[in-house]
Structure formats: C-alpha cells, structure tokens
Amino acid sequence: MDTRIETKCLHAGYEPKNGEPRQLPIYQSTTFKYDSSDHMGALFDLEAEGYFYTRLQNPTNDLVASKLAELEGGVAAMLTSSGQAANFFAIFNICEAGDHFIASSSIYGGTYNLFGVTMAKLGIECTFVDQDLPIEELDKYFKPNTKAVFGETITNPTCTILDFEKFATLAHNHGVPLIVDNTFATPVNCQPFKYGVDIVTHSTTKYLDGQGVSVGGAIVDSGNFDWMANKDKFPGLCTPDESYHGITYAEKFGKGAYITKATAQLMRDFGCIQSPQNAFYINLGMETLHVRMQRHCENAQKVAEFLESQDKVAWIHYAGLKNDKYHDLAEKYLENGTCGVLCFAVKGDRDTAIKFMDNLKLATIATHVADARTCLLHPASHTHRQLTDEQLIEAGISPDLIRYSVGLENADDLIADLKQALETI
C-alpha cells in the first residue's frame, strides 16, 4: 500500500509476519549459522543474499536502513557507526588517491576537517567553494579528476540552504554525483532526491535519534546516478573487483551497486558498523520523527521571531524568517519547515556572549544539536576555541555566532529564558 511519510515513519522497514514480535527485534549476534559450506561460500562470492558477519551487515541495521531509504525515496541504504563514518564512506566509495572532489565551504566543521585534512593525507583533494556563487563561477573548480560534489541541505552551524537544482545541474554536467548531508532537515522536511540529488547522508545522532542516546550515521542511494555512463571516472564500480571473484558492481547490482560496494568493501575493511542496539534506538526515534520535527519547527519559528525583535540581538539566521536571505530557497525545497536549529549573536564582544549564555537557565550548553532538549554552543569559545577571530571568519563562522538548537519544550518558556538572560547583558 502506498502511504504518506507519517505512516512510513511508523511502518516502513520492519513488517512483522503472523506471530512475530511487534517491535523490531535486536539481532544481538556477531555471526550467522548455515547448514552447508556451499551456501556460506556463495555468500562470500556475493552470489547469495544473507548475513555472515555483523562487521559488514546485520538484520536489525538493514531493517532500519530500509525504513530510512523509504523515507528518503531511495533504493538502498546502510547504517554506519557515526555521521563522520557516513560522510567518509560516501566519498571514499568513489574517490581514491589522485582524485578530487568539491564541497561547500559552509559544511559542518567535523566534515570540513575530514575532507580538508584527513582525506588529503589519503591523497584525495577537496576544494571548498562558496555555495552561493553562480553556476558559471562554480564550474571553474572542476578538474578532469573531479569525482563528486558535496553539500548540506541546511548547513551546521550557519543555517544556510543549498540550492539543489543549481548543484545537481553543475555535478551532472560534469558526469559526477551530487551527495548531500540531510541531517538537519531530515526526510520529513526535505527529500533531496526529488531535486536531483543522487546520494544522501545522515548523522542519525541528531533528529533521527532525537533523544541524544546514540551516535550513528547513514547513507542512502537514490539509484539514479548512471555509473556505467561515466565508467572511466568510476573504476571501483565499473571494473571487476578481484576480492569478490571479479564481479563488477554496477553491472551485477544495478541501482544497488553503490551501497553494495560500500558494504562489501568499505564495511568489510574498515568495520565502522552501527551496533544493532543503536539501530534499534534510531528506529524508535524515527517512529516519532514527523511529530517531533513539526514541533521543533514551530518552536524555532517563535523563538526566531522573538530574537529578531530584540535590540540586544545583533543578527539572526533562520530560514523560516521572511527576511532571511535563504527564505525563498527554504520555501522551494523545505515546504514543511526547515529545522529547530538557528544561529544568532548578541551585541558586544566574546565576553558578553559568554555572560549571556551562562545566564540561560533552561537551554543547556552542550556539544550537541538537534535534540529534544534545547541546547546551545558558542563555536568561538567551544568547538573552535583554538582559532583566532580571523581564522574563524575564514572557516565561515562569525566569532559572535551562537548556535541555538530549539527543543520540544514550551516555546514561551524558552522565550522567557532568553529574555531574562538578555536582561543581564
């Protein structure tokens, strides 16, 4: 039966048969038993479907991944141990030493470091670009060895919105896929595949979990990118893999090629699998995702409107605000709302910002975001404290930026809290 996203949040993925457990079972098992040696051999040749070792795949994880694939409108998905692992795999699955890719310079700091520093050590070069440049300008960053383009639907922490259609056109003109981290929007508020995005990643640690209990990540493939049409660029997918008796992923697995390769090669070799227990928690979170996202957005809108009206607030970015630079893009791609995260600054220096934050009573200072409880962070004095103001600006983060993640509390209580803290500065 074709259902809407709210119904899918509850019912997609695990569908128990007669007499089976109603809730998703946790397959807490490292290994799986087979009756014949031949069957086991066929699994190792990727000729038969089935599980052999939880370092690569586990039934609980796969059921949760298939729910996420349905929510995103994709054909295949996999869970990883963290969002970092998901973004690493998403790129490393198609890039090797000597390759190049392009990423928005406004992406999450952890991903920025992974792409700019750690991947460089593997011989993979990333060029960071201003995502608001016109397509003709962005075009100039492509090289013959460029293999992918990467951005975030809503950037963390600067809350800008990616123009999917511009980036999809750009990537496809050069025969490479567009990969988008959809963590902040979630599939409830945005399904990037509708706008030409080829692969989506998630830090499931955020809204998908929603309660701050488990670190995890995911990769979802739309199945739309034609690897074989660009076979010279993607030898890993389009030429035989000798470690599996010479199968060619794009030929043998068609639309499932990208996720199958990431599972069979990268998960086998790196083992960044999500534990089945954590996959279970994420499934619980996804069951209420549609209800929670709506409330996160309503609350964030009220808080943003309050902050916008305050004299002591220097600036605020929230795409739900009519005057926001990204409001039109948000209306186009995020019809149900954006997310609960906003950023703003209070007038004054770093010390004023710190005083304001220390005086908040409800919102807690935490290295977390997109949680049921309101939390906040001042990158200049927390995650990025080693950087000077100049370096912060280079990284696209204003030294006065406060990232405020609106939770599920009563919005009036959050506003009262902000109000009393503003009065202290």
Ligand X SMILES: *Cc1c(COP(=O)(O)O)cnc(C)c1O
Give the binding site for ligand X (CB under 6 A).
Answer: 82-84, 108, 110-111, 152, 156, 181, 183-184, 203, 205-206, 215, 217
* Residue 77 near residue 68 (C-beta atoms within 8 A): yes
- Residues 6+ away with beta carbon under 8 Å from 157: 108, 341, 343, 369, 377, 379, 397, 401, 403
**Minimum CB separation from ligand X for residue 214, in Å?**
9
Nearest residue (CB) to ligand X, 201 versus 222: 201
H/E run at residue 181: strand 178-181
**Minimum CB separation from ligand X for residue 215, in Å?**
5
Nearest residue (CB) to ligand X, 161 versus 237: 161
Nearest residue (CB) to ligand X, 203 versus 230: 203
**Minimum CB separation from ligand X for residue 81, in Å?**
8
Angle between helices 59-72 and 276-287 (to 10 degrees): 30
Q: How far apart are CA 75 and CA 223, in angstroms?
A: 6
Closest CA to 72 of 261, 221, 224, 293: 221
**Minimum CB separation from ligand X for residue 98, in Å?**
26
**Minimum CB separation from ligand X for residue 373, in Å?**
16
Nearest residue (CB) to ligand X, 11 versus 373: 373
**Minimum CB separation from ligand X for residue 278, in Å?**
11
**Minimum CB separation from ligand X for residue 272, in Å?**
10
Q: How far apart are CA 250 and CA 230, in angstroms?
A: 11
Nearest residue (CB) to ligand X, 205 versus 299: 205
Q: How far apart are CA 228 and CA 372, in angstroms?
A: 43
**Minimum CB separation from ligand X for residue 2, in Å?**
30
**Minimum CB separation from ligand X for residue 218, in Å?**
10
* Residue 130 near residue 203 (C-beta atoms within 8 A): no
- Residues 6+ away with beta carbon under 8 Å from 68: 13, 77, 187, 202, 208, 218, 220, 286
Torsion angle in degrees (nearest 10) through CA of 324, 329, 333, 336: 20
Nearest residue (CB) to ligand X, 111 versus 230: 111
Nearest residue (CB) to ligand X, 198 versus 417: 198
Nearest residue (CB) to ligand X, 250 versus 370: 370
Closest CA to 156 of 404, 423, 420: 404
Q: Which residue is nearest to ligand X (CB)?
A: 83
* Residue 397 near residue 158 (C-beta atoms within 8 A): yes
Nearest residue (CB) to ligand X, 217 versus 337: 217
Q: How far apart are CA 229 and CA 391, in angstroms?
A: 42
Instruction: Provide the H-helix boundaries in 309-410.
Output: 327-333, 350-358, 389-394
